[in-house]
Structures are given as C-alpha cells and as structure tokens.
C-alpha cells in the first residue's frame, strides 16, 4: 500500500513538472526571479550614497573653502561644481543637484579670528534616504577638515576614552549584501505559493481535475505531488541564485552552511506550498488567485522581519506574525546566511516551521477534499 502511494505521488509529480515545463510564462518568471530579479533588486534599490551631485557657491574663494570643496570626493559624491548664488535655486528646482553648499564671503578670515561663520547646506529632500545620509557625511567631512585646519588633528573628540566600533558580518556596510539575500528569501516565499496555487487552478480550468478524480488517487497524493514537484523547481532556482548570482556575480559571502539552509528551505517550502493549495481551493480562477496571493504575500514579506526588524513593529503585529511560517524562515535564513548559525541555534525555528506547516497542510487537505466532493457532485 505504501509503495502504491509513493508511486502515485512520484508519477503525479512528474506530470506536474511536465506541465510546468510546458508553461513558458511561469518558466520565464522562475528564471527571472532567481537571476535578474535578484540582481536588480540588490543593485537597483541600494540606499547607499553613491556619486551624489553637489554644487558649491564659493563666495570666499580662499584656500580653506577650496580645501572643503576638494574634500567631497567619489564614490560618495561627484566632484563639486562651482555655481553662482543666483543659479542655486533654479538648478535645484531642476533636480540637477542633491546638495548645494554656500560658503559665505570672508569665511576663512572669520574662522581665524575666532568667530563661528556659518556654512549653508541646501538639500533636495525628495531623495529622502540619500539626502539625509549625505548631509551627515558632509557635516562629518567638513568638521574633520576644519578641525585639522585649526588644530592639526582630524579627530574632534575630546573624550578621555576612545570608542572603537567594529561592524560584524558586513564590515563595509554594503547595502546590497542584505538586499540580494533577502530578495532570494522573498522569492522563495512568493514563487512557491504562486506555483502551487496556479497548478491547482490550472487543473480546474483545463478540466484535468475531474480526470484525476476518476483515477484511484487520494487528495493526499495529489497534494503531495504538487508540493514536491513545484518545490523542487523553487529549490533548484534558489540554489542557482545563491551560488551563481549572490556568491558569483554580487560576490556576497555566505557565512553559514549552504546545505543547511537548503534543508531548512525544504521544510519551509512544504509550509508555503500548503498555503498555495489552500488559496487554490478558495479561488475559482487565475484572476481570483492573483488577488488572494497579493493579499497574502505582501503581509508575509513586509511583516516577517525581512524588510524591517520585527522589534520595530507594534506588539500586536509581532504576536500575530508568530502564526506565519515565514517569520521563522526569515529569522532562520538570516542566522545561517549572515551569521553562520548551525543546527544548535536554528532548531527551534525548524520545529516551529514543521508544526505550522503540518497545520497548514491539514487545513489545505480538508479544503481540498471539500472541493473534490463539490466537483464530484
């Protein structure tokens, strides 16, 4: 009996893989999601300051003002362009510069006389993240240059002790290290739900679900076949994404064990696929499934800790998201890929995913059996 179940699940899974191979649209989606999609998400939405355009209105024309201008260098800033004061507002309105710095006349003379002259920094705040990061950089750079000019030392600190910050896991604070890996995790979640849910709807729309029901097959076998076949496609894409795109193209180091992460991903794929089948039993068509997936995937990705830390969310949201397997998968994935965690650290999250996956699978199985009964009637 067990051999019959395994054989049925295997053969149905092969059928699912053939159906997926014949669906060129889904194939293109999978390939793009785990290659170009990850690269563009990592590089294209970087929040780091990079070659910000700067204009300087130098009304002092002193050696010190020129020194300040030369201190703004790539890769954070483009070489500053000198403009007249009357050009500043029109050029910023046109979006040509993110920063426009006004150094007043007699700036060096007033500083040498012990006065506190003011440097004006005009910021285009429509580029929100880079504008505030850049303003902080400019203040630090100018403070260091002025302190070195006055005292011969760049360090402005007068504390009796020296605090040294050491950044772990991402010493250069490279933003796309985080963005690329998290895009892989989000795509695992998104594509698993989409593929499994679409597979169920495709059976219904093509009329092949009725063909399956007249065969000696159980709903359990049909569900397991869809889960393992579509999960295998996602797992292969994940492996390619981590080895070729993340480690190869983006050169992001993976701190932990890749096999351990893939093993954990297999467990999560079971949970996510069960959610996909559950949504497939509710929807009656592909458009309905698409709307349900949007309502499901967006909260899972936004509130599971992959976009913002869970600690910054309201307490109620944190408690609600404990019922989502994606919360544990994101935490587990970050621990393995970023911090090199082993099984001794991630096992509680694995157990939580297994428990929630079993619950979602049973709920989806009950819904599937009801759908089968209604179809037979």
CATH number at residue 123: 3.40.1710.10
204 and 311 assigned to the same domain:
yes
Cα distances from 333 to residues 110, 183, 261, 268, 301, in angstroms, run 56, 12, 7, 11, 14
Q: Residue 262: count other Cβ atoms within 10 Å of its Cβ.
A: 14
Domain count, the chain: 2
What number is the average pLDDT over the span 130-153?
Answer: 85
Assess if residue 156 is contained within a domain: no
Mean pLDDT (whole number) for 159-185: 74
For residue 237, what pLDDT is reported?
92
Same domain, residue pair 34 and 115: no
Higher pLDDT, 275 or 158: 275
Average pLDDT of the chain is 84
Give the pLDDT score at 350. 93
Specify if 84 maps to a domain. yes
Residue 197's pLDDT is 86
Return the C-alpha torsion angle 223, 228, 232, 233, nearest 10: -20
Q: What is the pLDDT of residue 156?
A: 56
pLDDT at 4 > cutoff 80: no
* Same domain as 327, residue 207: yes
Q: Is residue 252 part of a domain?
A: yes
Answer whether residue 202 shows pLDDT above 70.
yes
Strands 120-123 and 99-103: antiparallel
Same domain, yes or no: 302 and 245: yes
Predicted pLDDT at 376: 52
Contact (Cβ atoms closer than 8 angstroms) between residue 212 and residue 9: no
Inside any domain, residue 116: yes
Give residue 132's pLDDT.
Answer: 79
Residue 12 resides in a domain: yes
More confident residue, 157 or 201: 201
pLDDT of 45 reads 62
As to burial, measured by CB atoms within 10 angstroms (0-12 exposed, 13-18 middle, 19+ buried), residue 185 is buried
pLDDT at 136: 86
Same domain, 35 and 79: no
Q: What is the pLDDT of residue 29?
A: 86
pLDDT tops 80 at residue 293: yes
Rounded to an integer, the average pLDDT of 178-205 is 85
Distance from C-alpha of 332 to C-alpha of 344, rounded to nearest angstrom:
12
Q: What percent of the chain has pLDDT over 70?
A: 91
Give the pLDDT confidence score for residue 62 in this predicted structure.
92
Whether 208 maps to a domain, the answer reads yes
What do you get for the CA distance between the two ends of the chain, in Å?
28
Do 324 and 215 fall within a single domain?
yes
For residue range 52-65, what is the model confidence (pLDDT) as tens digits? 899 999 999 999 99
Q: Which residues contact 231 (CB under 8 A, 6 or more apart)?
A: 192, 196, 266, 269, 270, 273
| 126 shares a domain with 211 | no
Q: Would you place residue 176 in the very low, low, confident or very high pLDDT band (cuts 50, 70, 90)?
A: confident
Same domain, 239 and 332: yes
Asked if 144 and 72 count as a contact pair (C-beta separation under 8 A), the reply is no
Interval 332-336 mean pLDDT: 90
Which tens digit of pLDDT belongs to each residue from 83-133? 999 999 899 888 899 899 999 999 999 888 888 888 999 998 887 767 778
Do 330 and 219 contact (CB within 8 A), yes or no?
no
Domain boundaries, position 305: 2-45+174-376
Give 242-274 pLDDT, tens digit per residue: 999 998 888 888 888 999 999 999 999 998 998
Q: Are residues 122 and 211 in the same domain?
A: no
- Name the band, by pLDDT with cuts 50, 70 and 90, for residue 213: low
Task: Pick the closest to residue 51 from 127, 162, 153, 160 (CA basis).
Answer: 127
Looking at the fold, whether 208 and 93 belong to one and the same domain comes out as no
Asked if residue 15 is part of any domain, the answer here is: yes
Q: Same domain for 137 and 187?
A: no
Helices (H), 163-218: 175-206, 208-213
The answer, yes or no, to whether residue 301 has pLDDT greater than 90, is: no
| Residue from 296, 238, 323, 271 nearest 37 by CA | 238
Residue 257 lies in a domain: yes
pLDDT of res. 209: 66
């Amino acid at each position: 009996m067990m051999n019959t179940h395994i054989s049925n699940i295997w053969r149905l899974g092969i059928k699912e893989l053939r159906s997926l191979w014949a669906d060129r649209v889904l194939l293109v989606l999978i390939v793009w999601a785990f290659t170009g999609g990850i690269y563009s998400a990592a590089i294209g939405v970087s929040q780091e300051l990079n070659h910000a355009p700067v204009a300087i209105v130098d009304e002092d024309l002193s050696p010190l003002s020129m020194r300040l201008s030369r201190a703004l260098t790539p890769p954070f800033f483009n070489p500053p362009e000198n403009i007249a004061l009357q050009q500043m507002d029109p050029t910023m309105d046109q979006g040509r510069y993110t920063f426009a710095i006004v150094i007043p006349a007699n700036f060096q003379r007033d500083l040498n006389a012990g006065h506190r002259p003011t440097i004006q920094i005009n910021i285009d705040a429509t580029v929100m993240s880079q504008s505030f990061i850049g303003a902080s950089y400019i203040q630090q750079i100018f403070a260091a240059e002025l302190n070195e000019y006055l005292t011969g030392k760049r360090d402005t600190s007068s504390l009796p002790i020296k605090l040294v910050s050491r950044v772990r896991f991402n010493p250069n604070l490279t933003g796309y290290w985080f963005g690329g890996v998290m895009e892989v995790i989000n795509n695992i979640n998104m594509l698993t739900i989409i593929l499994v849910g679409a597979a169920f709807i495709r059976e219904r729309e093509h009329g092949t679900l009725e063909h399956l029901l007249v065969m000696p097959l159980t709903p359990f076998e049909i569900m397991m076949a869809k889960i393992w076949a579509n999960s295998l496609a996602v797992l292969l894409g994940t492996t390619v994404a981590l080895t070729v795109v993340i480690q190869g193209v983006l050169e992001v180091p993976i701190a932990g064990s890749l096999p351990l992460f893939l093993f954990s991903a297999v467990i999560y794929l079971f949970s996510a696929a069960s959610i996909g089948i559950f949504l497939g039993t509710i929807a009656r068509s592909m458009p309905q499934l698409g709307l349900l997936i949007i309502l499901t995937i967006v909260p899972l990705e936004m509130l599971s800790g992959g976009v913002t830390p869970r600690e910054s969310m309201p307490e109620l949201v944190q408690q609600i998201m404990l019922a989502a397997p994606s919360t544990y998968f994101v935490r587990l994935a970050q621990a393995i890929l970023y911090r090199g965690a082993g099984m001794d650290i991630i096992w509680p999250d694995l157990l939580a995913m297994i428990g929630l996956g079993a619950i979602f699978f049973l709920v989806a199985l009950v819904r599937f059996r009801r759908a089968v009964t209604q179809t037979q009637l």
